[in-house]
Chain A
Amino acid sequence: MTDEHEGKVLGIIKEFASIGAGNAATALSSLLDMELMNEVTSCSILPMSKVPEWLGGPNQIVAGTYTYLCGDLRCGVLVVLPSESAIMLLEHLTKEKVSLGSINRIQLSALKEVGNICLCWYLIAVSRMIDVDMIPAPPDATVDMLGAVLDIPLASLGAKVDTVIAVHTSFKALDGNFEGYFLLLPEESTLKLILDKMGDTGK
């Protein structure tokens, strides 16, 4: 890929992700009854080994909800919350004290459901935009080190993939007490499809 072409590709993917993330943040806002804002989407083409560092380091504890799209569009999608935000979210939803070290089934299920809602709203927006059916696998959630959370999403990109395109959109509450991000890991074929479709719309 030439630099110019790469820049164009990243631009298109950024727009794609921003629209998805915008819709997901709106859904999350009404669920949590707080104003959420999306921040800039950043997109990077990087070797697989650098992904955890790019996201802030493999050792930090996060709550991650992951799903995989299995239709025409093949892509991993994650919602990641830093530990403080995950605690805040779960305490708000379950009205009980939460400790991430001893998370119970209801709390884990709540986490999964919140991830599910975000992911679905994300997909609704992007699937309309490019007119492609998107079929997500049921999501699963875990609270662990970021590096560990990312292993399965990276492994599912396939044995031959060494360089990944990672698309990151963070969201934040207006009062700054709640934050997190969406992470998109598209397969190469998916990337082509997105580019084709978005290229057609006069971009």
Chain B
Amino acid sequence: MRELRVVGIGQIAVGHAPEQIACLGLGSCVAVILYDPLSKIGGLVHVLLPKAPNPCTIEEKYADTGTKKLLNELIARGAKKEKIVAKLVGGAQMFPNLNLSIADIGKHNCWEARRTLRQLGIHVVAHDTEGNRGRSAYLDTETGRVRVDTAFAPTKVI
């Protein structure tokens, strides 16, 4: 069994093959996963909210600043920007009957992550987002495949 690095809310991790990097129990949070298949460098950021306030202390907590920071870290580790592709996991609506605007935050997290990726010119090649189930995402930096576990449902690979 290869070592597994678990990334908590507002944290980032970048690694290369054969490392495994995971986000466990994503609800409305989104895991933005970037991967360069050529250098086999991949990373993910576990974001809680769409937009960073100004000033913000933890850039990794927000979809806009977190995605940018992750891309920079991948490039700093030697990944080529033109090879990098993105996958998105999470952004569920866990409490659909709550009368709070925050109940929809998962969807906004996904939108903001996609918007930022488009700005950066990174293509989203796969996603498993929204709905109302929690997910755990495991990135295999050997292949770039992401295994998505859901409570009470079969595992997916994207």
Contacts and interface: CB of A to CB of B under 8 A. Distances in A.
Interface of A: 47-53, 57-59, 61, 66, 68, 100-102, 137-152, 154-156, 159-160, 162
B152 A101 contact: yes
Q: Which 3 A-B pairs have the closest CB atoms?
A: A147-B25, A148-B134, A148-B27
B40 interface: no
A151 B52 contact: no
B114 to A, nearest CB: 19
B95 A61 contact: no
7 contacts: A52-B25, A57-B24, A140-B98, A142-B132, A149-B27, A152-B105, A159-B62
Given A138-B99, A142-B132, A48 B10 contact: yes
Contact of A59 (B25, B28, B53): B25
Interface of B: 8-11, 24-29, 46, 48-49, 51-53, 56-58, 61-62, 92, 94-100, 102-103, 105-106, 132-136, 151-152
Given A149-B27, A159-B56, 5 more contacts: A68-B98, A138-B98, A149-B134, A151-B94, A156-B100
A49 B24 contact: no
Contacts of A149: 25, 27, 94, 134
Contacts of B11: 49
Nearest to B136: A59
Given A155-B48, A160-B53, A53 B8 contact: yes
B49 A159 contact: yes
Nearest to A143: B151
Interface of chain B, main secondary structure: loop
Contact of A49 (B9, B26, B53): B9
Question: Quick one: which of A51, A101, A148, A155 has the most chain B CB within 10 A?
Answer: A148
A193 to B, nearest CB: 20
Nearest to B152: A101
B9 A48 contact: yes
A159 B58 contact: no
A132 to B, nearest CB: 20
Nearest to B135: A148
Contacts of B95: 66, 140-142, 152
A24 B27 CA distance: 27
Contact of A151 (B29, B51, B133, B151): B29
Nearest to B133: A144
A147 B152 contact: no
A152 B103 contact: yes
Contacts of A155: 28-29, 48-49, 102, 105
A148 B134 CA distance: 5
Question: Quick one: which of B27, B29, B49, B132 has the most chain A CB within 10 A?
Answer: B27
A71 to B, nearest CB: 14
B8 A68 contact: no
A154 B151 contact: no
A151 B28 contact: yes
Contacts of A52: 8-9, 24-25
Contact of A159 (B9, B52, B99): B52
Contacts of B92: 148
A147 B24 contact: yes
A68 B99 CA distance: 10
A66 B58 contact: no
